[in-house]
């Protein structure tokens, strides 16, 4: 009963958001309001509304008289966003180390255990999912709902690009070790250590920037061919 009767615009927004985050719509791809309206059997008004909300979220961009596209984030801004993401995660860890409850600590240990199981099984998809749960536990344990919300939002916004890092398997071992260190720090209430470890944990993924940037550029190239009539002025 929480939100069963949401408006068409909200449902459409969620659907599009999910499509973008899960890669069914790739950055740079065009969005046709009329086609979406037909697909969901609604008029242009709620479609437009949904799109505007996504624009506000930074997931899509609309160029007047040119069209609406799934947002393409430049490499420079992507780096900036990862930098902020690392800070937010670190802050969550620092606060969690001071404020975590017994229940939350149990949930965190459980999440860690699931990560270990997934890593042992070599199941990268499962690890990816459990890794999210693990981090989300820390967000919640920060006991700062606003911070948690911001962290989740930024994470979602980065998700379409995180997908590009294919070497999850190679990272699983190291990631898991870091997770253990993070849990240990939080258990012992060592706020600064938890913050530092988490911050690096997030930034390490950006360490292989050579591979990462290459992936992004590749995406840029293919996407450019799709949406833009010609070279798009980089936004």
Contacting positions for DNA (CB under 7 A)? 5, 7-9, 31-34, 41-46, 48-49, 62, 64-68, 229-230, 232
Q: Would you say 3 or 210 has its CB closer to DNA?
A: 3
- For residue 220, the minimal CB distance to a second copy (Å) is 18
Choose the contact partner of 42 out of DNA, a second copy, none; CB within 5 to 8 A by kind: DNA
- Catalog residues that contact a second copy under the rule CB under 8 A: 49, 52-53, 56-57, 77, 80-81, 83-84, 87-88, 91, 95, 144-147, 150
Instruction: Report the nearest approach of a second copy to the CB of residue 106 (Å).
Output: 24
Residues 6+ apart with CB under 8 A from 194: 93, 94, 96, 97, 182, 185, 186
* C-alpha–C-alpha distance, residues 189 and 105, integer Å: 11
User: Which residues on adjacent β-strands are paired with residue 118?
Assistant: none
How far apart, in whole angstroms, are the C-alpha atoms of residue 195 and residue 145? 18
The structure tokens 């979406």 sit at: 36
List the single partner that 145 binds among DNA, a second copy, none, CB under 5 to 8 Å by kind. a second copy
Q: Give 32 or 80: the residue with its C-beta nearer to a second copy.
A: 80
164 burial (CB, 10 Å; 0-12 / 13-18 / 19+) is middle
Residues 6+ apart with CB under 8 A from 46: 7, 8, 9, 12
Question: What's the min distance (Å) between Cβ of 33 and DNA?
Answer: 5
Contacted entry of DNA, a second copy, none for residue 3, CB cut-off 5 to 8 Å set by kind:
none
H or E element that contains 211:
helix 209-227
Give me the least distance between CB of 88 and a second copy, in Å please: 8
Query: Which tokens in the block code for residue 2?
Result: 């929480």
215 binds, among DNA, a second copy, none (CB under 5 to 8 A by kind): none
In the bound state with DNA, the residue whose beta carbon lies nearer, of 42 and 97, is 42
Q: How far is the CB of 64 from a second copy (least distance, A)?
A: 8
Question: Residue 114: is it exposed, middle or buried by C-beta count within 10 angstroms (0-12/13-18/19+)?
Answer: middle
Residue 41: contacted member of DNA, a second copy, none (CB under 5 to 8 Å, by partner type): DNA
Q: Which does 122 bind (CB under 5 to 8 A by kind): DNA, a second copy, none?
A: none
Q: How far apart are CA 225 and CA 48, in angstroms?
A: 25
State which residue, 102 or 229, has the beta carbon closest to DNA: 229
* Nearest Cα residue to 89 out of 130, 52, 144: 144
Query: Which of 86/115 has CB closer to a second copy?
Result: 86
Measured from the CB atom, the residue of 2 and 229 that comes closer to DNA is 229
Give the C-alpha separation, 94 to 55, whole Å.
32
């Amino acid at each position: 009963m929480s939100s069963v009767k949401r408006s068409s615009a909200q449902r459409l927004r969620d659907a599009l958001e999910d499509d973008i985050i899960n890669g069914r719509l790739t950055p740079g791809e065009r969005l046709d309001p009329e086609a979406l309206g037909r697909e969901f059997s609604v008029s242009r008004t709620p479609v437009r509304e949904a799109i505007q909300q996504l624009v506000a979220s930074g997931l899509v961009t609309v160029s007047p008289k040119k069209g609406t596209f799934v947002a393409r984030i430049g490499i420079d801004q992507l780096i900036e966003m990862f930098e902020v993401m690392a800070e937010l995660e670190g802050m969550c860890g620092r606060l969690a180390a001071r404020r975590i409850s017994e229940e939350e600590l149990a949930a965190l240990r459980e999440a860690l255990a699931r990560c270990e199981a997934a890593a042992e099984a070599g199941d990268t998809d499962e690890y990816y999912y459990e890794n999210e749960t693990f981090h989300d536990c820390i967000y919640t344990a920060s006991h700062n709902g606003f911070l948690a919300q911001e962290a989740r939002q930024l994470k979602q916004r980065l998700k379409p690009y995180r997908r590009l890092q294919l070497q999850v398997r190679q990272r699983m071992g190291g990631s898991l070790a870091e997770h253990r260190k993070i849990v240990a720090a939080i258990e012992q209430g060592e706020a600064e250590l938890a913050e530092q470890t988490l911050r690096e944990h997030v930034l390490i993924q950006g360490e292989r920037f050579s591979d990462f940037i290459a992936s992004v550029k590749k995406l840029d190239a293919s996407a450019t061919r799709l949406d833009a009539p010609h070279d798009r002025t980089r936004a």
